[in-house]
Every structure is written in C-alpha cells, then in structure tokens.
Amino acid sequence: MEPPEHVESARRAAPDALVGRLLDRRYRIGPRIARGGMASVYEAEDIRLDRTVAVKVMHPGLGDDDEFAQRFVREARAAAKLNHPHVVGVYDQGDDDGVVFLAMEYVPGHTLRDVIRKEAPMTPARALSLLEPIVSALAAAHRAGLVHRDVKPENVLIGDEAHGSHIKVADFGLAKAVSADTQHTATGGVLIGTVSYLAPELVVDGRSDARADVYAAGVVLYELLTGNKPHEGESPIQVAYRHVHEDVPPPSRVVPGIPAYVDALVARATARDRSQRPADAAVLLHQIHRVAQTLRDGVQDDPDLTADLALSPVRHDPFEDIEVEDVRVEERHDTTALEHLPAVVGPTRVRPVASPPRKPPARRPAAPLPVHTTPRSRSVKGPLSFLLVVLLLTAVGAGAWWFGFARYTTTPGVLGVSEAAAASRLEREGLDVEVGTPRFSETVKAGLVLATEPEPGERVLKEGTVSLVVSLGPERYDVPAVKTMTEDEAQDALQQSNLAVGDSVEKFSESIPAGAVIKTVPAAGTTVKPDTSVDLVLSKGRRPIEVSDWTGKDADKAVAALERRKLVVEIAGEEYSDSVAEGGVISQDPTAGPLFKGDTVALVISKGPELVEVPRVIAMGVEAATEKLEALGFQVNVQNSDNYIGVGFVFSTSPGAGDMVARGSTITLYLI
C-alpha cells in the first residue's frame, strides 16, 4: 500500500539531516536508499577503508529507548558472527550522539521481489535454486541461535552481474531484537513482521522459534511457484485470520503439473501445527535437496518421497479456540526503495491477543420422572462381563498407546554438526548411534552430518538407533596422469576417475611418439568435479622441417637459416672452386627434406679459385716459356712487344713474375 500523496511529497521536500554527516568519524552518509518502519538505510562511504557500505540508522523513536538499543547492539553482534556467503555481512555497529546504526555490506542489484514480478510462476527447479541459498543462510543463523523473523522476498538481495549475482539474505537478527520481550520495549508490545509471511503462532501469541522462519520460507516457495501469496485479503486482519485458520493450498491447484512431492514440501514447511514443520532450516534444507535431486532426475511422481514429506493426520485444529477478530493489527505505510537494500520495509505490526476459551452454556437438568421397578434377582454375569470388556479395552488401548506412540520419540535435528557433537546429542536423548556410509555433498562441509536415518523430526524407538551419514565434502577427483599413454588407455583412465572424455586434438611433439598423449586439459593433478570433461592432446610425432638447397649461395646466410629451423650445421670442409665464389656453398648434404629438429646438414664452403704464382720466364725462348706456364695450369697468349726485333725470346709477361693468379688464368708473353 502506497502512502498518501501529500505524505510522500512532504518526505521528498523535507531535507534529510543525516545526508552528508560523518558518523563515528568514519562513515560519510550519502543518499537514502530504503526506508522502513524501524530504520532507514543509506549508501555511505567508509573513509577509513575506502569502500562503499550500507548504513542502517534506527529511527529516533526506537533508538532513544536504552533497553531496545542495548538489545539491538546484542543482536547486531550476534548477526556479525554469521560468516556465510549468502548472508549480508555486518561490519560495524555504533552510537553517534544518539544515532544508533549498523554498517553493513553494500549489495547493488535487485531483490527477490523483482524476480517474482518478472519470472513467477516459475518451474519447481528454478524456484528451489533460488530458495536453496536462502534456506542455507537461515540454517547457519539457526545453528548460531539466531531467528530471522522477517523472511520475505524484499529481504533477499540479488547482486548484479558485476558483483557475482550472489543471493544474500538481509536483516538477520533485527526482527528478533524488536520482538523479543516485546512487552518491555518501545514497540509497546506490538509484534513487528510482515503479515503475509507470519507464522500462525506469531499471530496468536507472538512467540516463535526457528520454525517461524521455516514457515516464511515455505510461503516464499509458494509465491515463487505460483506468482501469488497463499493468503490474500482486503486488510491485514483478514490475512492474519487465514494464516491461523487456513492451510496454505497446494501450488498445483494454481499451476497444474507441479509434482505431488513439491506440493508436499510446501505443505510440510507451512504446516499450521508447528510440531509438524521441519525443526529448523537445516532440516528444511535437507528436504529441499531431496526434492531438487528428484526433479533433476526427471521423476514426475515419487510416492515414497511424497509420503515422507506428507503431513501426519491431526485430530483437531491447533488454533480452533483462537478468535483472530480480537487480534489488533496496525498497518504502517512506509516508502520503499528496493534497488539496493530493503530495510524491513513496510512491516505489518500485529498485537497477538488470544481470546480465552469459550465455555459451553450451562444446561438446566431435566426434572426426574418416576420409574417403576420390579425387584429381580442379581446376576454376576453382567458385572463380570462388563469388567472383562473394560479390562480388554484398557489392555488394547494401552497396547495401542504403547506400540503406536509411547515407545517412540522424535529424532533430534543434528544436521550440519560434527559427528562427535551429533553422537553426543543423540546419546543424551537415549538413542544409540551408528555411522553409515559417508556421502559427498556440495553444501555440507566434510566431517559434518549430512543426513540421518530416521530423518530429523521423524519417529524413532526410544533407545533405538539413529544412523548418521557424514559428509565427505564436495565430490572432487584429480585428473590422472596419462602422459605417453595411448588414446584408448587415457580414455579408460579418465572414466575410471569419474571424469568425462572430452575432445582429442593433435599436436607435434619432439619427445612423445605419434599417437601417445602429450597432456590433458585441465592438467594432470587438477582437482575437478565429477563428470568434468577432460580434453586429450595427442602427439602427431616430430614436426617435419623442409630444407632449401643452398648450393652456390652465401654460406653465412645458409648457416643462419638452417639454425633458425633448429637444425645442426656441420662444415664438412673448405675447397677451392673456380665456379663458386669464396664464402659460397660448394655442396650441401642433404639438399632436401623433410628433416627433423636436431638433424645435421653438412656444408662444403668455397675458398674461391686456387691461386698460383706466375714463374719468371723472361729471356726464355717462347716454346720453353709456354711449356713451363702450361705445366702450372695457365693459358698462354704470345704477342710481340713494341720493341720486337725478331729474336723470339720473352721480353716481359702479364701478369708479371711473382704475381698470384688463379689457376687457368691467361699469361701473356711479350717477345722481343
């Protein structure tokens, strides 16, 4: 219900004195992001740690009450101990000149209410996936001795994608701080909560335990499945009446096709007789896991699970003598801002008053009529038969009472505690303990009790035996070492390790033979969930290297190019060459590929043409000089000199005597 327009306008117009204030010399108060009946929430900057936080400031009417403030501090400290991934963290608490405040984790995003508006009605699997972290947070609180007392979609925050899309429950402990010992608080004996999610016992007498949170969680589940609240009315008093006198209807009545065991889960969580509800959120969480697994298995009808969750027949309405018309309901009209933190926004305040049982009207005795009797002899058969019947009925009743009820007790809730603590609790209740086969769990830490047989809240013989199932923690397996195995061998090893075989890709390897495994992705030794897909990288053998023929080319370039391809270059020798210039490659072995990394290529390097010294042949006859030069491999060219006179002797040579020239060069003889 929206506040009157003039009230909302006044709120917008009135400046907020807290905005801009520095609380406790640490928290710079920014814009208000939510306002409720007991507190307002502001976005603030923690100037000491340079981070954004949410600061919840109690309204002056509550914060001025010393007794309430002290209780608020105690509950804030208790809530701060809840180190759970699905609980909004409480960082700090303080009192700055009468301003009582909490500094909390800032969760930008939206609320579960927004999800319900957009998605409901939703599939049971989707609904349970949203509810599971909420109940997990409640279970942690119940183990710590805290009861939330205001579980509703507005108090469930869903962080945006930039912050991991985490589901977190807000306002732990605050509702308990207000409602505990309410007759002595500033609330004036008024129970504060949200009427759509109030457990019947809260409406009737204002007292509750963890099962009130279980009831609210069941109502939230109904709303996720159907998109509607189970009890609607024109006024809060009508809604409260229906919580007390009407069962939550099966969701399948609104959305046909919902499995019967899901209906049974909703009925169990929202039982008006709180003795039939799960003892706490840990027990409810276990039931949620069973239902979620059955949904994942694709089972539409599970009679055993439905029977386990179904309510026991009751002989009478637990609230048949309650006149809810005598209950006082006060509706608060507060503005809300749900994008960030819903700070117990818009609660309904219910004053529980139970009317005394109505006495039946006194009946006037009828006037006695005269009876005429005839004296008769007494017989012992009548009284004796009556006595025997009475004794027989007494024996049958006692036997039925003993065998049906008296010899049984209720299995205590010991989920989520250590094996030793669970055994101690059960033994104190006079029950024997045995440890069953442990099981893996994604939500229960190793060493803690995952389940019991019988389940918590179910009947068990006095001095009977309760079997504990201890959690092994999350089921994880190490990727096996399959290097150098064949593909078939590696696939067998993965399947034996409860892992799935992924893709096989090939890659060259210098050390692993073709067809064998080089590595796995993820790597060997990595710890992963069961059925994780593991890819195999297989060897194609050594990478082939194509080689160019460097014959006749520069030897230095040839060596550099071959070594870049990881080949070993061997200089097989140097030789004279008339056709290959000095520094060139005369020959290469091999001249073509394929080769492989580390193979050797032999090169013969040219020293260029072989040089021969020109001999002295001056003054020799032309024939003798020609013969001597040709013997050294020279070509001879004979010409007359400018001074030729016909003698026929060598006057000079070109190149001259003593010059070093290549073998085969032409020597010119000049004759005189």
| Residues annotated as part of the active site | 150
* Cis amide bond preceding 615, omega within 30: no
**How far apart (Å, rounded) are the C-alpha atoms in residues 103 and 54?**
6
79 φ/ψ angles, rounded to the nearest 5 degrees: -65, -35
Residue 546 neighbours by CB under 8 Å, 6+ apart? 592, 593, 594
CB 109 within 8 A of CB 259: no
Distances (CA, A) of 267 to 77, 270, 452: 34, 5, 22
Closest CA to 265 of 314, 318, 206, 224: 224
CB 254 within 8 A of CB 121: yes
Token pair belonging to 246: 């009407």
**How far apart (Å, rounded) are the C-alpha atoms in residues 94 and 300?**
53
Strand 465-470 versus strand 449-453 pairing type: antiparallel
Place of tokens 């002989």: 315
Tell how many helices (H) and how many strands (E) occur in the chain.
Answer: 17, 32
In this structure, which amino acid lies at residue 560?
Answer: A
Q: What is the DSSP letter of 499?
A: -
Place of tokens 């995003």: 109
93 φ/ψ angles, rounded to the nearest 5 degrees: -145, 145
Closest CA to 102 of 91, 88, 86: 91
Q: DSSP per residue over 534-598, as a string?
A: EEEEEE--SPEE-----TTSBHHHHHHHHHHTTPEEEEEEEEE-SSS-TTBEEEEES-S--EETT
Residue 545 neighbours by CB under 8 Å, 6+ apart? 565, 566, 567, 593, 594, 595, 596, 597, 599
In this structure, which amino acid lies at residue 354?
Answer: A
519 φ/ψ angles, rounded to the nearest 5 degrees: -165, 175
Place of tokens 């994008």: 339
Closest CA to 146 of 194, 104, 83, 204: 83
Distances (CA, A) of 390 to 378, 397, 403, 465: 20, 10, 20, 36
**How far apart (Å, rounded) are the C-alpha atoms in residues 540 and 303?**
56
Token pair belonging to 237: 């008093």
CB 102 within 8 A of CB 55: yes
CB 334 within 8 A of CB 39: no
The 3-state secondary structure of 462-489, one letter per residue: CCCEEEEEEECCCCCEECCCCCCCEHHH
Distances (CA, A) of 132 to 137, 168, 279: 9, 11, 17
CB 479 within 8 A of CB 499: yes
